[in-house]
Amino acid sequence: MHYQRLPKGYLALTVVYLITGASIAASMVFSLLLFLSLEQGLLMKLMFGGLALVFEVGKFYIWYEMGERISRRDSVGAAKALCFYVVLAGLSIAGSVGGINAATNTLLEGDAAKASEVQSYNDKIAGLEREIEINEQAAQAYIDMNRIANGMTKMLARNTELRARQDELRHERDQVAVTSQSSLMGLMSSLADGLGWPLTRVQFGIVAVLSMLLDFFAAFFISLLGDEIRFRRSLKKPTLSESTESEAEQAAKPAAPIRPDYYQDVVNQLRTGELRCAKGAVARMLEKPLEEVEDIFHWLLQDDIVYRKPNRHFAVKG
């Protein structure tokens, strides 16, 4: 079955434009995070931010222009565009790495704070446990001195309070531990444990992969839109076969014969009545053979100057 390509529908184009715009916007944001961190002054921040936007817009237009040059079979121009794109894509990926890395560092700091909070609860629980042990040792001393009635009641009541406090602290600690780790940090911790790598190396690897995927994702949809634009443009132009067929039809049409110079004189004399509308009269006037006069009357019929009567004679149209 022969495949016939059709233009993409409104829904498909809307989805493509939305995805392309979102990926370009995300790439711009991460590049802005990198360039804006280079300077603290407001003026320089504006300049660096504008530079980041120019690089991002230029990068994606260069990718589109590379597709245009490839479609024109301009290999040298496509190679130049690719070189420019690689340079700008490197800057964009560096910006994305910096932005995503800053976000993951924030997660790491949050997890470190939660881990510190959990450790604080553990320290409090351990302190209460030591106090309980001390009270048990004191209670044993009261038993040895046969003074159970005097000291044991207070020790047992105190230990009961301490164990209740321990239970409260364990419950609060468990609540903090459950909400302490994000999904991304869980993924990085699992990869670090599975690969035997430090957490910082795993963090850099994930950030670099995400940054490159973001850039290549946007470049793919830019290529998709460029190809669709070129396809729609080609539909508005006649194809090579159609133009060849039209040229062949024009060539097949017989060329209109060129009238001789005296033809217009014959027409004028016929219309004024100076010349009788007969082949013999025309032949005598022009001193031409009847074969050439046949062509003249054929042209007169084509130009709707004369008509043939039922008796096969010619007459000038009035």
The pLDDT value given to residue 16: 84
Rounded CA-CA distance 128/314 in Å is 134
The pLDDT value given to residue 132: 76
The pLDDT value given to residue 285: 84
Of 65, 61, 58, 55, nearest to 94 (Cα)?
55
- CA distances in angstroms from 228 to 7, 11, 233, listed in the order given: 7, 14, 8
Residue 68 near residue 230, CB atoms below 8 Å: yes
The pLDDT value given to residue 150: 55
Rounded CA-CA distance 207/37 in Å is 18
Radius of gyration from C-alpha coordinates of the chain: 47
Q: What residues are paired with 314 via a beta bridge?
A: 308
Residue 179 has pLDDT above 60, yes or no: no
Task: Report pTM.
Answer: 0.49
- CA distances in angstroms from 62 to 206, 221, 236, listed in the order given: 27, 14, 25
Residue 217 has pLDDT above 80, yes or no: yes
Residue 243 has pLDDT above 60, yes or no: no
The pLDDT value given to residue 274: 81
The pLDDT value given to residue 302: 83
Average pLDDT over residues 85-105: 74
- Taken in order of first residue, the domains within the chain and their CATH numbers are 10-108+183-236 (no CATH), 263-316 (1.10.10)
The pLDDT value given to residue 99: 66
Average pLDDT over residues 39-60: 81
Phi, psi of 301 (to 5 degrees): -70, -40
Q: How confident is the model at residue 184 (pLDDT cuts 50, 70, 90)?
A: low
User: If you average pLDDT over every residue of the chain, what do you get?
Assistant: 76
